[in-house]
Structure 1
Amino acid sequence: MTPWWQLLLVWLLAALMMTLGWQWQRRRSNAGIVDVLWAAGVGGSAVLLAITGSGAPWTRAVLASLGGAWGLRLSAHLWRRVRGEAEDGRYRNLRAHWQGVQWKFFAFFQFQAFLIVLFALPFAAVARNPQVSTPWLAAAVALWLLGVLGESIADAQLARFRADPAHRGTTCRDGLWRYSRHPNYFFEWLHWFAYVCLAVGSPIGWLAWSGPVVMYVFLRWISGVPYTEAQALRTRGEDYRDYQRTTPMLIPWFPRRTPR
């Protein structure tokens, strides 16, 4: 199967999944399910493209393992939040802005289906790679482990902080959150370089760079940092402004001292 037929199949399945997700959202008034489905869809696309690809079997096996495990971990983590909490503030504000108009939510969910295809491009490059390079496979696994473990630790630290009622209205500065305002986003972005390593030798290997590039653009300017920080400023006010002044936004580094 050619990469373009593979991506068409990914889009059709993603569109169906997001339609079902939109119906779930409509019944429960919780659009947070879209994040769960996006993570599951991207991870599932890695497995699908690995199975239907024409590249070296070992390279495709590593792709299916890494991409599938990443999607499973992230979607399970997000599902625990969606299932156990009220609708995320970002989506509550969106619901109020759209006045609950469901066709807008449907379009939003279908846009997420398109994004699944966009983020599947690196997997298409890997799935067509005819080469097996042990050093590049090792580098991919190392980057994947660093990215996924770092994101898992950041998620666990934030969940532990949020679980304490005494922390309501305050900002998490524990662990990795002392060195970055969004360590989970940083390690998520870092993990996408694993597929760049796996695509070395592929005739369409350049497509793999779309992963880290597009993810950085979305996290930095579109759907990650801007929405998350706007919500944090609404709920935590001056405490979060102080956090912004002292803590790097994305790439971890030592916090700055504010002048007295």
Structure 2
Amino acid sequence: MNGFDWSNFAVISLASLLVLALLQAATYLIGRRIRRYNVVDVSWGLGFVLVALIAAVLGEGDGLRRWLIFVLVAIWGLRLTWHMYAKSAGKGEDPRYVAMLERAGGDSPTTVIRKIFATQGLSQWFVSLPLQVSAVVGATSGLGTVVATIGVALWAVGLVFESVGDHQLRQFKADPSNSGKIMDSGLWAWTRHPNYFGDFCVWWGLWLISASVWPGVLTVLSPLAMTYFLVYTTGARLLEKSMSRRPGYPEYQQRTSYFLPRPPKR
């Protein structure tokens, strides 16, 4: 692959694996101490920020693209980290993890590490491959510049959907008169999961920036994996299972798009 530095990529990739392993180990110890493992959600965005920083510092590819990606990932990841911390602080365990560990046969340390923390760390490493590959190749030019610009624009759309959606839901829940009601206004009238749709756009945008230079396009499995997580596993599908039992949610499902935004049905 012309212009691809395999040795530099190996250094970035191994350093990323090591840092993510340390992050997940620390998160596990914190979760064990406070007796809830949903703290792993707080380290999700932070892990990507650390990988982007490693890629920016250790990468020997185009400096402008390396630091652009770091800034974009840092804005997204640090916002998400703070949001997840504020959302879970003082709360009990997330029912998703309770159900997951029950299906796995218990909450022994080995099971918890294998099913939650090791899985998340490996997922972070795989999804972040576009960041790692992009850091070791040369400058973007020609059509690649157009592709990268589209990627930045898509990232911006995703950040708006995710941050605005989270803000609207937080404001809705803060109003006591909305207790027991279903949030169905603002972005939540266009999609039942604006935050997950925002994540989707962010990672496809970052992939486009990486794909603006060969062989970044080959990391397409990373945003596809993130899409699968968001839509079918730990994201929207799992949340729908619990929400569908709430009064008013089936009607909300009928008039509002599942994932991709569209005008609500009357």
TM-score by length of 2: 0.88
- Superposed displacement of residue 56, structure 1: 0.8
Query: Corresponding residue for 1:186?
Result: 197
Q: Distance in 2 between matches of 1:54 and 1:33?
A: 34
Kindly report the root-mean-square deviation, in angstroms, between the aligned alpha carbons of the 2 structures.
1.9
Which of 223, 247, 250 is the equivalent residue of 2:234? 223
**Residue 184 and residue 154 in structure 1: after superposition, are their counterparts in 2 closer, same or farther (change >3 A)?**
same
Q: Of 207, 210, 224, which aligns to 1:196?
A: 207
Give the whole-Å Cα distance in 2 for the aligned partners of 1:51 and 1:78.
Answer: 27
Q: Which residue of 1 aligns with 2:109?
A: 102
How far, CA to CA, are the matches of 1:129 and 1:140 in structure 2? 17
Which amino acid is 1:52 matched to? L
Aligned counterpart, 1:71: 77
What letter corresponds to residue 121 of structure 2 in structure 1? A
The 8 Å contact of residues 15 and 54 in structure 2, kept in 1 or not, is answered as no
What letter is aligned with 2:38? G
Unpaired runs of 5+ residues, structure 2, are 1-6
**2:101–2:111 Cα contact (<8 Å) kept:** no
SS in 1 for 2:128: helix
**How far apart, CA to CA, are the structure 1 residues paired with 2:189 and 2:170?**
15
Residue 27 (structure 1) shift: 1.5
Task: Report SS of the residue matched to 1:192.
Answer: helix
- In structure 1, the residue matched to 2:218 is 207
**Alpha-carbon contact 1:131-1:201 (below 8 Å) kept:** no
- State the distance in 1 between where 2:170 and 2:91 align: 12
1:18: Cα distance to partner? 0.9
Runs ≥4 residues deviating over 6 A: none
Match of 2:87 among 81, 85, 92: 81
Scaled by the length of structure 1, the TM-score of the pair is 0.90
1:129 and 2:160 aligned: no
CA–CA distance in 2 between the matches of 1:8 and 1:88? 32
Of residues 126, 137, 142 in structure 2, which corresponds to 1:118?
A: 126
Measured in 1, the distance between the counterparts of 2:164 and 2:212 equals: 33
- Whole-Å Cα distance in 2 between the matches of residues 148 and 240 of structure 1? 26
Q: Distance in 2 between matches of 1:123 and 1:207?
A: 12
Q: For residues 202 and 115 of structure 1, what CA distance do their matches in structure 2 show?
A: 24
What pairs up with 1:247-258 in 2 under 5 angstroms? 247-257=256-266
Number of corresponding residues: 255
The one-letter code sitting in structure 1 at the alignment partner of 2:42 is: V
Identity of aligned residues (%): 30
AA at the equivalent of 1:187: G
Cα distance in structure 2, aligned partners of 1:67 and 1:233: 33
Q: What letter matches 2:263 in structure 1?
A: F
Matched, 1:25 2:31: yes
Contact in 2 for aligned 1:36/1:75 (Cα 8 Å) = yes
Range that drifts further, 99-108 or 11-20:
99-108
1:95 is displaced (CA, Å) by 4.8
